[in-house]
Structure 1
Amino acid sequence: MKAVVARDYGSPEVLAVAEVPVPLPGPGQIQVRTAAAALNPADLRSLSGVLAGLAPLRFPHIPGSDFAGRVTAIGAGVDRFAVGDEVFGTALPRETVQMASMFAAPPSLTTGTVAEYAVLEADTPALALRPAALAADRAAALPIAGLTALAVLRAGRFQPGESVLVVGATGGVGSAVVPLLAAAKVHVVATAGAADEAYVRGLGSAEVIDRHAADLVAEAVRRRPDGFDALVNTALPGSRLVDAGRLLRPGGRLLNVAFPSPDPGDFDGCDFTFETVYGGARLGDLDELAARAADGTLPVSIGRRYRLEEAPRAYRDLVREHTRGKLVVVMGA
C-alpha cells in the first residue's frame, strides 16, 4: 500500500510517500481502508522529537490520527464493528500509548492513518460509525478539533448571554469552538485576520478583532472594559497568557488548548481561574459531533484537500501557511 512515511525524526521535509506492507488486524483490532485523513499539529510535534522522551517513535513511522474509512477486516473478539461498516474517529500511533493518560477515555491506537490502510483498536469511544449524511472528508476533519471543542464547552460551563473571547478562531479547534459557543447562545468575540472576518462571522462570531492589531489586548479591553466572562486560547503561547488574563472580569475563566501549556503556577494570585483543556472521547461524543455536523450546527471547515501523493506538501503547508479549518488528505482523489 501507499503511505506517508518518516524514517527519522525531523521537520515535514523528512516525510515521503512510500510503498509499505498492508497492516493486518490482531485480536481486538479492525483494519480500515482509509478514505480521508485530517492533519493535526500533534502529528508534527511527535515527528520533531520533542516528545521522544515520553513516547519515542519507531521507524519507519506513518503519521496521522483523524480519519474516516471502511472496515475491511476484523480481528478476533471484535463485535462492535463488521466488515463493510463506514467508520470515523481518532487514534494515537501505537508507540504513544504512554500518552493515553492525557485523554478522558482510552484512545484507539493505530498504525498511522495517512495511508491507504490502517489498523486500529476497536474498543474505544474514539471510534464510531459514520452516518451516511456525513461525507468521509468532513467526518475525518471532525474528531480532534470537535472533541477538544466539546471539552472546552464542558470545562467552561458557559451560560447564555456570557461574553467569550476566542483567540485563534480560524484554526481547526477555533473553527469548532466558535459555532458550538454560538449554538449555546454565548456572545462570541473572535480574533482573526481581516481577510478571515466574513469566515469567522459565518461560524457564529458576533464580533471580530483583527489579530494583526498593533495591540490586541488594548483593543479587546476597549471592546469590553468590564472584562470578558471567559477567554478560550487556541493560539497564544503560554508566556502571553498571563497578560491576556487582564481581559477577564474578576472570577472569569481562561481555558487554554494551545501547546505548550503554561505552568499553572504562573497564574497564582490572579483573579481568574486557569485550566488547560485536553480533548478526549466520551461514549457518544463522536455521534453528537456527527449529528451537529449533519444538521449544520457545527460547520465542518476544510481549508484544503490533498491527494495522498501530495500529503508531504500538505504537512509543510500546515506549518508554513495560514489555514482555515482543517487540511484533509483524500485517498484516491
Structure 2
Amino acid sequence: MRAVTFSTYGPPEVLKVVELAEPTAGAGQVRVRVKAAGVMPFDVRAREGGFPTALTGDFPIVPGNEFAGVVDQVGEGVDTVAVGDAVLGFATLRSYAEFVVVSADQVVAKPSGMPWEVAGAFSGAAQGAHMALEQMKVAPGETVLVNGAAGGLGTMTVQLAARRGAALVIGTAHPDNHEYLRALGAVPVAYGDGLVDRVREVAPDGVDGSLGAAVDGLKAAVAVTKDIARVVTMVHTEEIAALGVHNWTGVRSAARLTEMVDLYRRGLLHVHLRAVYPVDSAVEAHRDAGSGHGRGKVVLTLG
C-alpha cells in the first residue's frame, strides 16, 4: 500500500510517500480502505519529534490520527461492522495510508450526507473539543475563552461550548478570521501583546474555562481564568507545566464520536475545510497545517 512516512524528525520535507506492506485485521479489528485523513497539529508535532518513541513507535512512522473510508476486512469476533460499511474513526498515528487497521470500537458509521473529506477530518477535533469542555466543566451561563478559535479544534470548541449553554464564548484569532468567529457565535479578540487586556474588556470579571495550546495564549488564559484547574491544553511541555496548567485528560471512544456525528447529521455542528490535498502533496499539507493562522481543517485524500 502507499503511505506517507517519515524516517527522521524535521520540517515537512521529511515526509515521503512510500510502499509498505498492507496490514491485516486481527481478532476484534477491522481494516479500512482510507478515503481521507485529517492533518492535525498532533501530526505536525510528531513529525518534529515532539513525542517519545513509546507513543510513536520506531521509524518509519506513518502520521495521522483520524480517517474515513470503507471497511474491507473484518476480524474474528466483530459483529458491529461489516465489509462495505462506510465509516470514520480514530487511531494513534498510521492513518496517512491506503489501509489502516484499528479495533472495531474505533470506528462509527459515516452519515451518507457527510462528504469523505469532512468525515476524514472530523474525529480528532470533534472529540477533542468535547473532552476539553468536559474537563473545563462548562455549565450554562458561563464564559469560555478559546485560544486559536478559528482552527479545527477551536471551531469545534466554540460551537460545542454554545451548545452546552455558555453565555459568552471569546475566541482569539488573527483579525482575518474574526468575521468567521462571529458567524459561529463567538466574540473575537486578536491574539498577541495585550491579549489579557482585550479579554478583560469583553469579560471584566474573568472567564470560567479556557482552552489553549501556545504558551502566550495559555499565560493569558491563566491570568483571566478564575480557577486555573479549568485551564485546559492538549500540548504538554515543561514551559506549560511551569504555568500550573493541568495535563489533558479524556478518552476517545465510539460513543463520544457517535454523539458528535449525530450533531453533524442534525445540522448542529459545522466543519470548515481549509484545504484538501492529495496524498502526494503531504508536504504542502503539513506546511499549511503548521502555519498557525489557518481557518478550519486540513485534509489528505487517498482514494
| TM-score, normalised with respect to structure 2 | 0.90
Task: State the Cα distance separating 1:86 from its structure 2 match.
Answer: 0.9
Task: State the Cα distance separating 1:217 from its structure 2 match.
Answer: 0.8
Of residues 248, 264, 285, the one that matches 1:314 is: 285
Q: CA RMSD in A?
A: 2.3
- The aligned counterpart of 1:260 is 236
Range with bigger deviation, 278-287 or 178-187: 278-287
1:248 and 2:206 aligned: no
Task: State the Cα distance separating 1:282 from its structure 2 match.
Answer: 3.6
- The aligned counterpart of 1:192 is 173
Q: 1:320 to 1:167 in 2, by over 3 A?
A: closer
Whether contact under 8 Å (1:182, 1:188) holds in the other structure is: yes
Distance in 1 between residues matched to 2:55 and 2:148, nearest whole Å? 28
Per-residue CA deviations over 1:108-159 (Å, capped at 9, x if unaligned) read xxxx11122222222x3x3212121322221221111111111122222322
Q: Matched residue of 1:329: which SS?
A: strand
Task: State the Cα distance separating 1:9 from its structure 2 match.
Answer: 3.1
Per-residue CA deviations over 1:205-243 (Å, capped at 9, x if unaligned) read 1x111124x41111212322222222222x331x76355
- The aligned counterpart of 2:200 is 221
Q: Matched residue of 1:31: which SS?
A: strand
Distance in 2 between residues matched to 1:256 and 1:303, nearest whole Å? 25
- The aligned counterpart of 1:32 is 32
Distance in 2 between residues matched to 1:263 and 1:120, nearest whole Å? 32
Task: Letter of the 1:229 partner, please give it.
Answer: D
Q: 1:14 to 1:242 in 2, by over 3 A?
A: closer
- The aligned counterpart of 1:105 is none
- The aligned counterpart of 1:300 is 271
Whether contact under 8 Å (2:136, 2:232) holds in the other structure is: no
1:46 and 2:63 aligned: no
- The aligned counterpart of 2:184 is 203
Distance in 1 between residues matched to 2:53 and 2:23, nearest whole Å? 26
Per-residue CA deviations over 1:28-83 (Å, capped at 9, x if unaligned) read 22111111100112223233333235335323322112000000112222222110
1:230 and 2:230 aligned: no
Per-residue CA deviations over 1:87-114 (Å, capped at 9, x if unaligned) read 1111014xxxxxxxxxxxxxxxxxx111
Q: 1:263 to 1:30 in 2, by over 3 A?
A: same
Q: Matched residue of 1:150: which SS?
A: helix
Q: 1:278 to 1:140 in 2, by over 3 A?
A: farther
Distance in 1 between residues matched to 2:133 and 2:2, nearest whole Å? 38
Whether contact under 8 Å (2:225, 2:231) holds in the other structure is: no
Q: Matched residue of 2:8: which SS?
A: coil
Distance in 2 between residues matched to 1:150 and 1:70, nearest whole Å? 26
Q: Matched residue of 1:228: which SS?
A: coil
1:128 and 2:130 aligned: no
- The aligned counterpart of 2:81 is 81
Q: Matched residue of 2:61: which SS?
A: coil
1:146 and 2:126 aligned: yes
Task: Letter of the 2:38 partner, please give it.
Answer: A
Q: 1:218 to 1:35 in 2, by over 3 A?
A: same
Distance in 1 between residues matched to 2:55 and 2:156, nearest whole Å? 28
- The aligned counterpart of 1:100 is none
Distance in 2 between residues matched to 1:240 and 1:326, nearest whole Å? 20
Whether contact under 8 Å (1:147, 1:285) holds in the other structure is: yes
Distance in 2 between residues matched to 1:264 and 1:319, nearest whole Å? 22
Task: State the Cα distance separating 1:21 from its structure 2 match.
Answer: 2.7
| TM-score, normalised with respect to structure 1 | 0.82
Of residues 94, 99, 117, the one that matches 2:99 is: 117
Distance in 2 between residues matched to 1:148 and 1:82, nearest whole Å? 27
Distance in 1 between residues matched to 2:122 and 2:97, nearest whole Å? 18
Moved over 4 A (4+): 261-266
- The aligned counterpart of 1:175 is 155
> Which runs of 5 or more residues in structure 1 are unaligned?
94-111, 268-273
Number of aligned residues: 301
Q: Matched residue of 1:24: which SS?
A: coil
Q: 1:319-330 to 2 correspondence within 5 Å?
A: 319-320=290-291, 322-330=293-301
Of residues 113, 137, 154, the one that matches 2:117 is: 137
Distance in 1 between residues matched to 2:288 and 2:40, nearest whole Å? 12
